Structure 1
Amino acid sequence: MWKDKIIEEIYRIREEHAKAFNYDLQAICDDLRQKQAVSSRQIISQPLKQPSRQNSK
């Protein structure tokens, strides 16, 4: 089976991060939000796209 080294690394990092917070989703999200707040990167968010309504006949 083919393995993607980049995906495997992402899974490993994600697992280590979750384990550091005892898999507490609230704590994980709080940590990521805190890291985002102090980051110098520009954050771009787009509004949610509304599903298009098609005329039904």
Structure 2
Amino acid sequence: MEDPIVAEVRNQRDEYAKQFNYDLAAIFFDLREKEKTSGQRVVSLPPRRIKPAAVPSRSAKGSASR
């Protein structure tokens, strides 16, 4: 079952991208220009760093010998 709202959003996105021949750099440039001329405050947040996963230590317990 297709959601009509999702279908409309996808259609609008496709129409917008088609204006730029699906060129991501051109789309990005256009969006940046719209940000600059919008008069709205644009906030850029710093990236969230991913903590490294804990690596289990290699101990003699439970390890199979070869």
Range class of TM-score, shorter chain: 0.7 to 0.9
* Shift of residue 19, structure 1, vs aligned partner: 0.5
Structure-1 separation of matches of 2:45 and 2:18:
31
Which structure has the larger Rg?
A: 2
Tell me, which stretches of 5 or more residues in structure 2 are unaligned? Answer: 58-66
Give the alignment's TM-score, normalised by structure 1.
0.72
Deviation at 1:51, TM superposition (A): 1.2
Q: Match for residue 23 of structure 2? A: 24
Q: Percent identity?
A: 39
Q: Which has the higher helix share?
A: 1
- Distance in structure 1 (CA, Å) of the matches to 2:3 and 2:39: 30
How many residues align? The count is 56
**Unmatched 5+ residue regions in structure 1?**
none
Question: How big is the shift at 1:49?
Answer: 0.7
Aligned partner of 2:9 in structure 1 is 10
Structure 2 residue matching 1:48: 3-state secondary structure: coil
SS in structure 2 opposite 1:29? helix
Report the alpha carbon displacement of residue 17 of structure 1 after superposing the two structures with TM. Answer: 0.8
| Equivalent residue, structure 1, for 2:37 | 38
